[in-house]
């Protein structure tokens, strides 16, 4: 299909809330996409940090095909083998700190569940979150979002929010009070521009929450499943949250997400407090089980840490050589950003990179964000990065 035909269908039949690139993508293999005109694209976006095993990984394709031919949907009132396997695997991710889980179909729904859980566990209704954070677009998730761009148009539908600067323990200490149900934080902010907090930030938040009887919720939707070099993103510090939300990489491209919590929190809910038709269905769980198996067997979290460190060093070197163009490089694992000085240059990078055969996106208006598959071949990664950096330097 030609792009013009796609645009005609879109103009007639799509609700115009998305600005698209003029490409029809028809296939993905490993870290490469192919469009309808046969052009190959090195994928440094991985479906927004989703396709952690690359595109069409045989283990994931096989698991989905096998389960699709066996059983796709039952509702949560039956046990199914894939879901039982998955909730055991999810407990292992946190080394047992967060042994209970509930499955959903998107990250946003996982955030909704976490909000309800925190309300049940504390009886409180105030949530504190961080500036420039992103937690999803449903009303329960949007109330937490610290990015004005996303929240402001729907402010009339939302309860008053309490948003504090990221990586600021004094501000958190002031905001978290006896009415606070939870502090919600991304271990590394993704959409907010790849912001990495100072060492001790999560431990400080843990202490503040404990002192006020509030929960600590880690939004691991972008940082989890190995992306930042550990199974879950909070694990670079020696603390655990009470609740963590998962999504994106969990299904490697299949829509599956969920929230996990401690025994103490799980014990506060009542039968019927939450539910879903699709969440935790056997097909989604089979996909997630395949992803978690491959991530573990192929040590992809460790690899993301190692390859991400090299990428970060390389981008930091580039930023130092081009101080007129770049502010800095920052990141953890394979969630890495290069902040540019000029928002216009930043805005041009996505479309121009695509012309050079690379898919890359820009977060928070200025930060070129690298979130490839955790198993991306290093040649593909560096070839893609070469092409992007050439555009920044030009």
Q: Give contact residues for ligand PLP (rule: CB under 6 A).
A: 48, 106-108, 111, 134-136, 186, 190-191, 219, 221-222, 247, 257
**Active-site annotation, residues:** 134, 219, 248
Task: Let me know: does 112 contact 140? Beta carbons within 8 Å.
Answer: yes
The runs of H, that is alpha helices, within the chain are 3-13, 46-49, 58-68, 81-93, 107-122, 139-142, 148-151, 169-175, 201-212, 263-266, 282-297, 300-321, 343-355, 378-393
Nearer to ligand PLP, 304 or 326 (CB): 304
At closest approach, how far in Å is the CB of 323 from ligand PLP? 30
At closest approach, how far in Å is the CB of 1 from ligand PLP? 26
Q: Minimal CB distance to ligand PLP: which residue?
A: 107
At closest approach, how far in Å is the CB of 272 from ligand PLP? 24
CA distance 162 to 226: 30
Nearer to ligand PLP, 247 or 350 (CB): 247
Nearer to ligand PLP, 47 or 82 (CB): 47
At closest approach, how far in Å is the CB of 186 from ligand PLP? 5
At closest approach, how far in Å is the CB of 145 from ligand PLP? 9
- Longest CA–CA separation in the chain, Å: 60
Residue 216 token pair: 């600590």
Q: What Cα–Cα distance (Å) separates residue 233 from each residue in 120, 223, 225, 284, 382?
A: 25, 5, 8, 22, 24
339 - beta bridge partners?
Answer: 328, 367
At closest approach, how far in Å is the CB of 190 from ligand PLP? 5
What DSSP element (H or E) covers 155? Answer: none
Nearer to ligand PLP, 108 or 132 (CB): 108
Nearer to ligand PLP, 54 or 107 (CB): 107
Q: What Cα–Cα distance (Å) separates residue 325 from each residue in 179, 322, 393?
A: 45, 5, 7
CA distance 369 to 193: 8
Q: What is the DSSP letter of 190?
A: S
N-to-C CA span, the chain: 33
Residue 346 has a CB neighbour count (10 Å cut-off) of 21
Contact partners, residue 214, CB within 8 Å, separation at least 6: 122, 124, 128, 176, 180, 181, 182, 183, 208
Nearer to ligand PLP, 243 or 319 (CB): 243
Best CA proximity match to 143, nearest among 120, 121, 118: 118
Nearer to ligand PLP, 190 or 337 (CB): 190
CA distance 264 to 101: 13
Task: Let me know: does 259 contact 113? Beta carbons within 8 Å.
Answer: yes
Nearer to ligand PLP, 80 or 106 (CB): 106
At closest approach, how far in Å is the CB of 313 from ligand PLP? 25
Contact partners, residue 13, CB within 8 Å, separation at least 6: none
Task: Let me know: does 35 contact 27? Beta carbons within 8 Å.
Answer: no
One DSSP character per residue, 51-80 reads -TT-BT-HHHHHHHHHHHTT-----TTS--
At closest approach, how far in Å is the CB of 132 from ligand PLP? 11
């Amino acid at each position: 299909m030609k792009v013009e035909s796609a645009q005609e269908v879109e103009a007639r039949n799509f609700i115009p809330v998305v600005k698209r690139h003029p490409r029809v993508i028809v296939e993905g293999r490993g870290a490469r996409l192919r469009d309808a005109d046969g052009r190959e694209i090195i994928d440094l976006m991985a479906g927004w940090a989703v396709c952690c095993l690359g595109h069409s990984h045989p283990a994931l394709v096989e698991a989905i095909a096998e389960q699709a031919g066996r059983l796709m949907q039952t509702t949560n009132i039956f046990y199914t083998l894939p879901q039982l396997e998955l909730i055991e695997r999810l407990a292992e991710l946190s080394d047992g700190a967060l042994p209970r889980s509930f499955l959903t179909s998107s990250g946003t729904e996982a955030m909704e569940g976490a909000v309800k859980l925190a309300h049940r566990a504390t009886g409180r209704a105030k949530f504190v979150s961080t500036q420039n954070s992103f937690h999803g677009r449903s009303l329960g998730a949007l109330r937490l979002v610290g990015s004005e761009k996303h929240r402001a148009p729907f402010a009339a539908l939302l309860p008053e929010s309490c948003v504090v600067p990221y990586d600021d323990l004094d501000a958190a200490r002031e905001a978290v009070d006896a009415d606070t149900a939870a502090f919600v934080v991304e271990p590394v902010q993704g959409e907010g521009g790849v912001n990495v907090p100072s060492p001790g930030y999560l431990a400080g938040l843990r202490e503040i929450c404990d002192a006020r009887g509030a929960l600590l919720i880690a939004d691991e939707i972008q940082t989890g499943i190995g992306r930042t070099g550990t199974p879950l993103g909070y694990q670079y510090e020696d603390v655990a949250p009470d609740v963590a939300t998962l999504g994106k990489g969990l299904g490697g491209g299949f829509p599956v997400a969920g929230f996990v919590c401690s025994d103490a929190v799980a014990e506060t809910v009542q039968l019927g407090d939450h539910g879903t038709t699709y969440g935790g269905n056997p097909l989604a769980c089979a996909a997630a089980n395949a992803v978690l198996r491959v991530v573990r067997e192929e040590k992809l979290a460790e690899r993301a840490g190692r390859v991400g460190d090299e990428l970060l060093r390389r981008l930091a070197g580039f930023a130092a050589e081009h101080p007129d163009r770049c502010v800095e490089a920052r990141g953890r694992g394979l969630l890495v950003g290069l902040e540019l000085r000029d928002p216009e240059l930043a805005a041009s990078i996505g479309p121009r990179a695509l012309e050079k055969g690379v898919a890359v996106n820009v977060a928070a208006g200025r930060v070129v964000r690298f979130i490839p598959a955790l198993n991306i071949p290093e040649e593909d990664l560096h070839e893609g990065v070469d092409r992007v950096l050439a555009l920044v330097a030009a």
